[in-house]
Structure 1
Amino acid sequence: MLRSAHILMLCAIALLCIGVVMVQSAGMRIGTISPDTANDVTGAWTSFMTASAQSRPVIYAAIAIVVMLIASRINVRQFFTSRGLSNPLPWLILGALSLVVLTLVPGVGKNVNGASRWLAVGPISFQPSEIVKWIMIIAIAYWCARKRGVMHKFTFGLLPPLLLVGTACMLIVIEDLGTAALIGAVAIAMLFAGGARLWQLALLVPLALGGFVAAIMQSPYRIKRLTAFVDPWADPAGSGFHPIQSMIAIAQGGLYGRGLGGGIQKFGYLPEDTTDFIFAIICEELGIAGAAVVVTLYLIILFVGLSIVRECKDTFGRLVALGFLLTIGIQALINIAVVTVMVPTKGIALPLVSSGGTGWILTALAIGLVASLDNAHHLAQETGLEANPNLLPA
């Protein structure tokens, strides 16, 4: 019988398959190899590197699916419920934040498109902020589960996780405003679900907005993105180039699109066509119908995932699943809103679709862990042993 966990993972696999196909399509380039160099060492090396680049999304997608299937069999509760030095969570938090700090060190962080968000280990590049994004969810869930009796108190309940999330966001916002905002928004929602008072969280809104505005004002390129959102045609070759080309791609797609591989905007017109703006390529080549399929898959993941959250008996598992689903849902919403020019341009990936090995694998891992909660629930029903809601005593 098809269960919630199966539906969740099938939708994730479908998005990964769409991602592989569309990354390959968006990455198409027009070029020629001269007869004089086609058979020499340089030509062979170029051909090899091109083939490697084309096969990379397939390899990442395969790894992501395997990771998701393994994660669906992990008991996430037992893994993070031990205390003292045997609990890996504090070490994961410290390690992830240390990696973020390293990206800010000149000569260590890898600069991509003017931002030092990346670290490179040999041929592998990754964004430490992506790791922090998921670890913060587990950390908040752990704290709320342990302190559920005092979460309504500011000093002993709410303040410690706020300090942790605030530290992470301050480190990340220097180079990546979108991810910092995403982490902050998900954290606030999880803390409210974990027992914090709404009025306490509301008092943080002016502080968060002030920090958000300050982060924008200290970066000229962020100010340009705001002005381009108001009137992209004021600077069509500069700050307005991204939104204009994205709107053109969507408009050219119509209802059923130009056909897979038939898009025009990817040939030097639309920047970041395999990453942040891949949804525009989907709209151009597959039309509104193809875009609707992608949106529907995200909605199914959220709907089915929330049904797993409702069935979960313990606070820790419920909050972990909720945080993962909120992260995927909000990130997808922001990306689609940016591509459709409903909000200012912001570099944030479309989960499981935009090119990126680290992002695919970590998102698949998160979905696998949500599916594991459903698997554990059905196993408990079969054995008569339900999860203990007081798994993490205060």
Structure 2
Amino acid sequence: MPRSVAQHRSLLAIDPLLGLLGLALILVGLIAISSASIEYGDWHYGNPWHHTQRHLVYILAATVAGVITYRIPVGFWEQTGWAWLLVALALLVLVLVPGIGKEVKGSQRWIQLGAFTLQPSELAKVALVIYLAGYMVRQEEEVRGNWRGFLKPMAVVGAVALLLMVEPDFGATVICAGTAMGMLFLGGVRLGHFLLMLLVGLLGLVALVFSAPYRVARLTAYTDPWADPFGAGFQLIQSLIAFGRGEWLGVGLGNSVQKLFYLPEAHNDFVFSIWAEETGFIGAMLVMGLFAALIGRILWVARQALSQGQKFGAYVCYGTALIFSGQAFVNMGVSSGLLPTKGLTLPFVSYGGTSLIMSCCLLALVLRVERSLDTQGGRTRG
């Protein structure tokens, strides 16, 4: 068989379990968004399928981005991690420039690109994972051995967090900081260094919460949403009603009542609530199971890569697992009243082009790492 044909087939032979789990979550997202956005799209755009059509375009763009990412060797990402970090930082600065950044409900998080918008914070998460993975490989002894090796990447994380808080985007800040801390911990940083920085980080988060009145209001609404049922607690109450109406088997796809302008913009951060209302406890557990299986498989790939000395690939997988698990936990926790209200997308499921594209790129990176594993008697596969 010609070498070029063999290489082409190798690139197409992705891990079936990872691929199917990612595809299943994307399909769940398409179904959930289609149902949750019908009335909203009809009222605001005169087209009940407005968001469904746009999301299909996002899926196509995410698929193309994922394929391109998968076809690029892992070594390229390791060598260019610093460049992607600079691009992400530049975009985080650019989004704050008046006239360039788009402000929605007091937050300036988006850059308008024609009919679509770019959310730099989503790119920053991916760039941070790639950069930290490369740094931890290059400076492994320094990271594990002294404060300087630990503080250098934390300074980078601090710069990213500062730019995110200026927008402000508290949710993305928590995910970026948590992912970085998790990667460094898994990379072998000293426990004392880690615990001290964790304490500083927690104190910083508490200070940030109480520094803004709207965050305090969200915390108050979380502890007792019925104290202000038509104000700060309205969104959480409507979400809890959606969960309650779903019971075991749900009210049926398309039959949600809460999406009829009770739950504001239900196709975005609270799409899981509508899914739970329409498919019930069984449907909600299905999505949780898909995320658990996906994250478990990614961690398995990380473990295999680490055992074969592919540390950069392992750290990328760890970072990806931390982002997916962190965002899924926060999004589902907020929807079910477990956590205070926070604007974070559910990976692969929530409406949003940048989030979906970056999620597919991260999954493609993991798939590429998996293809490079030595599983055929000492021969590397991809």
TM-score (normalizing by structure 2): 0.90
* Unaligned 5+ runs, structure 2: 1-12
- The alpha-carbon deviation at position 237 of structure 1 amounts to 0.3
Q: Does 1:80 align with 2:73?
A: no
Q: Which residue of 2 aligns with 1:241?
A: 234
Q: Which residue of 2 aligns with 1:265?
A: 258
Paired with 2:129 and 2:148, the residues of 1 have a C-alpha distance of: 19
Paired with 2:303 and 2:57, the residues of 1 have a C-alpha distance of: 35
Q: Which residue of 1 aligns with 2:83?
A: 91
Paired with 1:52 and 1:27, the residues of 2 have a C-alpha distance of: 8
Paired with 1:30 and 1:184, the residues of 2 have a C-alpha distance of: 34
Any conservation in 2 of the 1:256–1:289 contact (CA below 8 Å)?
yes
Query: For the aligned residues, what is the CA RMSD?
Result: 2.1
Any conservation in 2 of the 1:254–1:288 contact (CA below 8 Å)?
yes
Q: Who wins on radius of gyration, i.e. which is larger?
A: 1
- The alpha-carbon deviation at position 52 of structure 1 amounts to 4.9
Show CA shifts across 1:180-234 (max 9, x none).
0111111011111112101101111232123212222221111100110111111
Amino acid of the structure 1 residue aligned with 2:113: V
- Which protein, 1 or 2, shows the higher relative CO under an 8 Å CA cutoff with sep ≥ 6? 1
Q: Does 1:315 align with 2:305?
A: no
- The alpha-carbon deviation at position 269 of structure 1 amounts to 0.2
Q: Which residue of 2 aligns with 1:123?
A: 115
Q: Secondary structure at the match of 1:355?
A: coil
Any conservation in 1 of the 2:15–2:367 contact (CA below 8 Å)?
yes
Gap change, CA 1:317 and 1:283, over 3 Å in 2: same
Q: Which residue of 1 aligns with 2:171?
A: 178
TM-score (normalizing by structure 1): 0.87
Q: Which residue of 2 aligns with 1:25?
A: 35
Paired with 1:327 and 1:161, the residues of 2 have a C-alpha distance of: 17
Paired with 2:368 and 2:83, the residues of 1 have a C-alpha distance of: 23
Q: Does 1:132 align with 2:117?
A: no
Show CA shifts across 1:327-352 (max 9, x none).
10111011101000011111111110
Paired with 1:9 and 1:79, the residues of 2 have a C-alpha distance of: 22
Any conservation in 1 of the 2:55–2:353 contact (CA below 8 Å)?
yes
Q: Which residue of 1 aligns with 2:185?
A: 192
- The alpha-carbon deviation at position 47 of structure 1 amounts to 7.6
1:330 to 320, 326, 329: 326
Gap change, CA 1:121 and 1:327, over 3 Å in 2: same
Q: Which residue of 2 aligns with 1:353?
A: 349
1:166 to 128, 145, 158: 158
Amino acid of the structure 1 residue aligned with 2:159: T
* Unaligned 5+ runs, structure 1: 34-45, 83-87, 388-394
Q: Which residue of 1 aligns with 2:58?
A: 60
Any conservation in 2 of the 1:75–1:376 contact (CA below 8 Å)?
no
Q: Secondary structure at the match of 1:110?
A: strand
Q: Secondary structure at the match of 1:95?
A: helix
